[in-house]
């Protein structure tokens, strides 16, 4: 039973199609990164998963259940950090977590949760005075209560400094290792790259790609580039040009830069070696993540 299963999911607001025929399955125990530029329909999709917004068409199943018909079962097993999460200004951080614990009828220590997300020292301050980053940490603590089977985190690193974002990723990994499934959205590929087992890229309400980061790279023929330092660049270049899949070679004295395309790095190195050229050094140059993301979200990919 997949924790998340979306079928033919669409949502139209008036004339605007926010989500368009989305099919998506998240497997148990994986970290799924839901990527897309702002306005791509990520939050609308998450809102439909949580029954905040009703689909125009299609179905949502969490743990095989329709969240609308089984609100208690589904929500009991799910921890959520919504986008633009708002606090109760007049209540303390601790009281917030206690409220979640009471609501889910759990037996847990609110302070332990606040400690995990690094906000324990502000536990007895009113949350209205928290910074965005602190609210985000509080929201994460609230989502983690009760060791939920599924964590849905909408833009969890909003307002966090790089250190906070790293801690957030650590928590996400720990939760996955505990056995939870994590679904989180972001508009920044770098943030999901480090933790995600799989990434889905949403563009204008459609899923334009779904794979691991490496899979995404090879799908657009970006095996990246490889820079090789050799004793004879001319001979090496001739050898490399015979390797299937190579898309380009630039030579400099004692150095060649190969766009490896569909080819495998090892094949290229072997070809040079077989030509009797000595390899002093090599390093790979991959497409920067931001560039990779741009390729999927701004070019015609359908």
The least distance separating other proteins from the CB of residue 181, rounded to whole angstroms, comes to 16
Kindly tell me which of 71 and 179 has the beta carbon lying closer to other proteins.
71
| Residue indicated by tokens 């490399």 | 240
Residue 43 tokens read as 């939050």
- b (16+ CB within 10 A) / e for 103-124: ebeeebebeebbebbbbbebbe
What gap in Å lies between CA 28 and CA 5, rounded to an integer? 11
The least distance separating other proteins from the CB of residue 31, rounded to whole angstroms, comes to 19
SS (H, E, C) 114-173: HHHCCCHHHCCCEHHHCCHHHHHHHHHHHHHCCCCCEEEEECCCCCCCHHHHHHHHHHHH
The least distance separating other proteins from the CB of residue 150, rounded to whole angstroms, comes to 11
User: Degrees (nearest 5) of the Cα angle 69, 73, 74?
Assistant: 75
DSSP summary character for residue 50: T
The least distance separating other proteins from the CB of residue 85, rounded to whole angstroms, comes to 6
What gap in Å lies between CA 256 and CA 258, rounded to an integer? 6
Kindly tell me which of 100 and 192 has the beta carbon lying closer to other proteins.
100
Kindly tell me which of 34 and 85 has the beta carbon lying closer to other proteins.
85
What does DSSP say about strands 16-26 and 4-13: parallel, antiparallel, or unpaired? antiparallel
Q: What number of helices (H) and strands (E) belong to the chain? A: 11, 13
The SS3 of residue 110 is helix
The least distance separating other proteins from the CB of residue 283, rounded to whole angstroms, comes to 46
What gap in Å lies between CA 34 and CA 163, rounded to an integer? 22
Kindly tell me which of 90 and 283 has the beta carbon lying closer to other proteins.
90
Write out the residues near other proteins by the rule CB under 8 A: 13, 47, 50-54, 71-72, 75-76, 78, 80, 82-91, 95, 99-100, 102-104, 139, 142, 152
Kindly tell me which of 51 and 193 has the beta carbon lying closer to other proteins.
51
The least distance separating other proteins from the CB of residue 134, rounded to whole angstroms, comes to 15
The least distance separating other proteins from the CB of residue 88, rounded to whole angstroms, comes to 5
Kindly tell me which of 85 and 296 has the beta carbon lying closer to other proteins.
85
Kindly tell me which of 71 and 215 has the beta carbon lying closer to other proteins.
71
């Amino acid at each position: 039973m997949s924790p998340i299963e979306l079928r033919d999911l669409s949502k139209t607001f008036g004339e605007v199609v926010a989500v368009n025929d989305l099919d998506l399955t998240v497997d148990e125990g994986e970290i799924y990164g839901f990527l897309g530029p702002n306005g791509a329909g990520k939050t609308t999709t998450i809102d439909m998963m949580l029954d905040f917004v009703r689909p125009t068409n299609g179905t949502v199943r969490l743990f095989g259940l329709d969240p609308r018909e089984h609100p208690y079962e589904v929500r009991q097993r799910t921890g959520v950090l919504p986008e633009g999460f708002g606090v109760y200004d007049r209540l303390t951080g601790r009281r917030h977590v206690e409220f979640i614990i009471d609501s889910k009828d759990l037996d847990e220590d609110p302070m332990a949760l606040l400690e995990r997300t690094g906000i324990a020292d502000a536990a007895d301050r009113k949350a209205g005075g928290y910074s965005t980053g602190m609210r985000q940490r509080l929201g994460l603590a609230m989502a983690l209560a009760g060791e939920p089977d599924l964590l849905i985190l909408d833009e969890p690193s909003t307002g966090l400094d790089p250190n906070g974002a790293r801690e957030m990723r650590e928590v996400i990994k720990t939760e996955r290792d505990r056995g939870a499934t994590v679904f989180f959205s972001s508009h920044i590929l770098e943030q999901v790259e480090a933790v995600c087992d799989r990434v889905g890229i949403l563009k204008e309400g459609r899923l334009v790609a779904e794979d691991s980061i490496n899979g995404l790279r090879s799908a657009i023929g970006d095996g990246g580039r490889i820079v090789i330092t050799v004793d004879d660049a001319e001979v090496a270049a001739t050898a490399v040009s015979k390797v299937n899949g190579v898309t380009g070679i630039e030579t400099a004295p004692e150095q060649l830069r190969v766009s490896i395309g569909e080819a495998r790095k090892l094949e290229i190195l072997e070809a040079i070696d077989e030509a009797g050229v000595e390899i002093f050094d090599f390093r790979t140059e991959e497409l920067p993540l931001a560039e990779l993301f741009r390729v999927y979200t701004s070019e015609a990919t359908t």
